[in-house]
Structure formats: structure tokens, C-alpha cells
């Protein structure tokens, strides 16, 4: 079940570096794009840093709207997520092509990606490095998670295909591996 | 064996979001600090974005020197890496306390951490978001890897305790899991 995540825990959704799907919308059009270069930037207010390459349709929509969604996909979505990075939303309806469905967001106009493990709704708050480095600082307005995968402020990967994954390069990925808890004195 | 990594492949060392050890030096003192908020930012020149919290000894040394090292530790270092994040280098010689040894860098004054899997030597090139967001944009001057763990531009995790790891929150981590290669049409 999709449940609200306290904003102070939003960083924990991205802290381990999973691939995300960036969603965006403007002027009646929307898009999704996989991204690896997204990380937390602060706790309260919850901020994230995201690299959105110039020239992409996503960049056009984010620049126009000042908003973006981040959906964290499960390993079972890996083929679709990878394929969605090989075409442009200017020419292809990626949702239809790759069998992905929109889920409504609460605070932004862009949709989220249905069936993902967690979601962040974000507003761009700083774009002074956007022209030079494609870097956007975004405030997390709302955070959600599938409570089977993330609850109590932590990930719980019981289903092997319900784990997050990480990109290395091109079509090569790592699934998120086993948990290890360090014993503290 | 420590071997040189082409700078165009430096992003692949951090792309999957592993925990790194940030090293720094200035005025005859040096330090190391674990960090999760570090990601690639560009390919050529190879850039990384790193969050270095204000008030830390590492921040003081990075601000003074304009340089930092990034060492990617193996799972076998997890206890030491975690513990190194619980104390400050102003009061503790973390190298001695946690049994970590310095390895010489080639382009920066700061040492690297011996026994790690890969290393990036970096120079700060943009700090306009440092005061507000603790964010540093750094150019990778030199990249290295233990060729058992990273060669041919890719990670190869044959040894379970020689894998990278990711932080979730506090003392909770994930090891990097199994590789998955997406078949492309």
C-alpha cells in the first residue's frame, strides 16, 4: 500500500544510490527518464541534487515547470527502465511503449510511476549550476513508499525482484545486495 | 595491483552509489571521513559532486587546500569506515584508531586510503553552493583501481568481502548485490 513517508526520512529513500525514474510535465505533455545521478543533499528541509542533461525532453519539461517526480523502480522493472533511457519522449510515448502506468502525485503536476517502490515529489529551488553542470537542487515536497518495501524509515527487501538497483554503465547494473548492520559500542 | 583508470571511466567508479572515504590534508594535518552523498557529475572532464558538511574537520581541510581524495572501501572495511564517521579528526587520529593506512596520491597532497578498491584524486572547481548547501563540484585529476576489483572500465566483485557497500541510515548498510546485464535489441 502506498503510504506517506515523513520528509525527514526522504533522504533514506535515495541514500544507497538506486536508479530512479524522473517524471516531468508541462503544457499537457509529460515524460519519464531513468537517472543515476541523483542524491540526497539535506535532511530538513529535505533536499536532493539531480543531474538532468541539457537537450533532453525531461530537461525541457523541468525547466518549464520547475518540478519533477522521482520514482524508485523495482528490479522487475529493469528492462523497461533501461529501455526508457534509450529513446526520447519527444518521439515516443514511453509509458505506452514500455508498459508503465501513471500514478497521481499530490503536490506536483507531473505523474509518478505506478508500481514503483517509493516516490518523491520535488520542486526545483536552485538552478544556478543548471546551465553549466546540469545540476538542480530540489526540495522534496512529499514522499511516499510501498509499505512492503519501505517502512519504519528503512528499506525491507524481502522479494528479490522487489529490490532497488544501481547502474554501472550502459546496460550493466547491480541489484541492491544484502543488508549489513554495524554493531556500535 | 593499483592501476590507472582512464579519466573518462572515472564516473563508473561512483555510478552505483557506494560509500566513499573522503581524504583531505592541509598545513601538515590530514583526515578521512566516510561519505554517502557523492556522485558523478560529468564525463569529460570527469567531475563529481560531493557534500562536505560545514563544521567538519574534513571541510576545514578541503576549504584550505581545494583538494580531496575519494577512496572506495571494500565490505571488509565496513566496521572501520562506520566507526570513522562517529568521531572527529580534530580529536582523534582516525588512521591509527581504526587501523587504516595512508597510500600516496599522485596529483594531490592528501593521502588515499590503502587497501581500498578504487581511488579518485580531485580538485574543487566550483564552490558557489558550498556555503548554502555544502556542495562541492570537483574535477577528477587522476583515477586508480585495484585491478582485481575494477578493470576494463567495470567492477568485478568476485570476493564477497571485496564488494562495495551503500549506506541507508546510521549503522545500516547494503552490500552491492549481483550484477544484471540488460539484453539490448
- ∠ CA A165-A140-A73 to the nearest 5 degrees? 20
pLDDT at B61 over 90: yes
Residue reference for cell 513508499: A145
Note the pLDDT of residue A18: 98
Q: What pLDDT, on a 0 to 100 scale, did the predictor assign at position B41? A: 98
Q: For residue range B130-166, list pLDDT tens digits in order.
A: 999 999 999 999 999 999 999 999 999 999 999 999 9
pTM passes above 0.90:
yes
For A41-57, write each residue's pLDDT tens digit: 999 999 999 999 999 99
Q: What is the mean pLDDT of chain A?
A: 97
* Chain B residues inside the 8 Å CB shell of A84: none
Outline where chain A has alpha helix (H).
Answer: 11-14, 57-65, 78-84, 94-98, 130-133
Q: Does A129 touch chain B (CB under 8 A)?
A: yes
Find the mean pLDDT for residues A87-116.
98
pLDDT at residue B85 in the model: 97
Angstroms from B28 CA to nearest CA on chain A: 30
Q: What sign results for the dihedral spanned by CA atoms A98, A160, A158, B77?
A: negative
The residue with cell 533514506 is A12
Asked whether the predicted pLDDT for residue B185 surpasses 90, the reply is: no
Residue-range domain boundaries for chain A:
2-175
pLDDT above 70 as % of chain B:
100
Distance of CA A109 to the CA centre of its chain: 15
Max Cα-Cα span within chain B: 56
Name which of A154, A173, A175 is nearest B172 (Cβ-Cβ). A154
Closest-approach residue (CA) in chain B for A177: B177
B71-100 CB burial, b ≥16 within 10 A, e <16: bbbbbebbbbbbbbbeeebeebebbeebeb
User: Does residue B184 surpass a pLDDT of 90?
Assistant: no
Q: Which of B82, B65, B70 is nearest to B25 (CA)?
A: B65
CB contact under 8 A, A39 and B41: no
User: Residues B17, A168, A97, A66: is their CA dihedral positive or negative?
Assistant: positive
Torsion of CA B168, B173, B177, B181, to 10 degrees: 30
Q: Which of B38, B133, B174 has the CB atom closest to A179's CB atom?
A: B174
Kindly report whether the peptide bond that precedes residue B45 is cis, defined as omega within 30 degrees of 0: yes
Instruction: Say yes or no to pLDDT of A150 above 80.
Output: yes
Q: Would you call B153 an interface residue with chain A, using a CB distance cutoff of 8 Å?
A: yes
Selected for mutation to probe chain B from A126, A145, A153, A172 (highest B CB count within 10 Å) is A172
Average pLDDT value for residue range B49-78: 98
Neighbours of B3 (CB within 10 A): 12
Residues 38-97 of B with CB under 8 A from A: 38-42, 47, 49, 51, 75, 78-79, 82-83, 86
Mean pLDDT throughout A62-85? 98
Give A-chain residues touching B163 at CB under 8 angstroms.
177
Average pLDDT over every residue of A116-124: 98
Helices (H), A99-138: 130-133
Q: In this prediction, what percent of chain A has a pLDDT beyond 90?
A: 98
Inter-chain CB proximity A171 and B177 less than 8 Å: no
Using a CB-CB cut-off of 8 Å, the residues of chain B touching A166 are 15-17, 166, 176
Contact A16 B42 (CB under 8 A): no
Closest residue in chain B to residue A154, using alpha carbons only: B168
Q: Please give the full DSSP string across chain B, using - where no structure is assigned.
A: -EEEE-GGGTHHHHTT---EEEEEEETTEEEEEEES-EEEEETTTTEEEEE--TTSHHHHHHHHHSEEEEEE--GGGHHHHHHHTSS-TTT--HHHHHT--EE--SSSSS-EETT-SEEEEEEEEE-TTHHHH-EEEEEEEEEEEETTTEETTEE---SGGGS-EEEEETTEEEEEEEEEEPPP-
**If contacts are CB pairs under 8 Å, which of residues 5-44 in chain B contact chain A?**
11-12, 15-18, 36-42
At B79 the pLDDT is 98
Stretch A147-166: mean pLDDT: 96
Cα B57 to the center of its chain, rounded Å: 16
B82 and A182 within 8 Å at the Cβ level: the answer is yes
Give the one of B79, B82, B133 whose C-beta lies nearest to A41's C-beta. Answer: B133
Say if residue B115's pLDDT is above 90: yes
* pLDDT exceeds cutoff 90 at A184: no
Q: Which of B15, B86, B183 sits opposite A167 (nearest CB)?
A: B15
**CATH code of the region A2-175:** 2.30.110.10
With a pLDDT cut of 70, the percent of chain A lying above it is: 100
Amino acid at each position: 500500500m502506498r503510504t506517506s513517508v515523513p520528509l525527514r526520512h526522504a533522504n533514506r529513500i535515495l541514500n544507497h544510490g538506486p536508479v530512479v525514474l524522473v517524471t516531468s510535465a508541462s503544457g499537457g505533455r509529460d515524460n519519464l527518464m531513468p537517472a543515476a545521478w541523483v542524491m540526497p543533499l539535506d535532511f530538513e528541509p529535505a533536499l536532493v541534487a539531480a543531474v538532468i542533461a541539457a537537450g533532453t525532453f525531461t530537461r525541457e519539461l523541468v525547466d518549464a515547470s520547475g518540478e519533477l517526480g522521482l520514482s524508485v523502480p523495482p528490479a522487475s522493472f529493469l528492462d523497461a527502465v533501461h529501455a526508457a533511457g534509450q529513446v526520447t519522449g519527444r518521439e515516443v510515448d514511453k509509458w505506452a511503449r514500455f508498459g508503465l502506468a501513471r500514478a497521481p502525485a499530490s503536490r506536483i503536476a507531473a505523474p509518478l510511476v505506478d508500481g514503483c517502490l517509493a516516490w518523491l515529489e520535488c520542486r526545483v529551488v536552485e538552478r544556478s549550476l543548471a546551465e553549466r553542470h546540469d545540476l538542480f537542487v530540489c526540495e522534496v515536497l512529499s514522499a511516499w513508499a510501498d509499505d512492503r518495501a519501505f517502512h519504519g524509515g528503512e528499506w525491507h527487501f524481502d522479494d528479490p525482484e522487489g529490490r532497488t538497483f544501481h547502474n554501472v554503465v550502459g546496460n550493466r547494473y547491480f541489484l541492491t545486495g544484502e543488508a549489513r548492520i554495524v554493531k556500535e559500542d
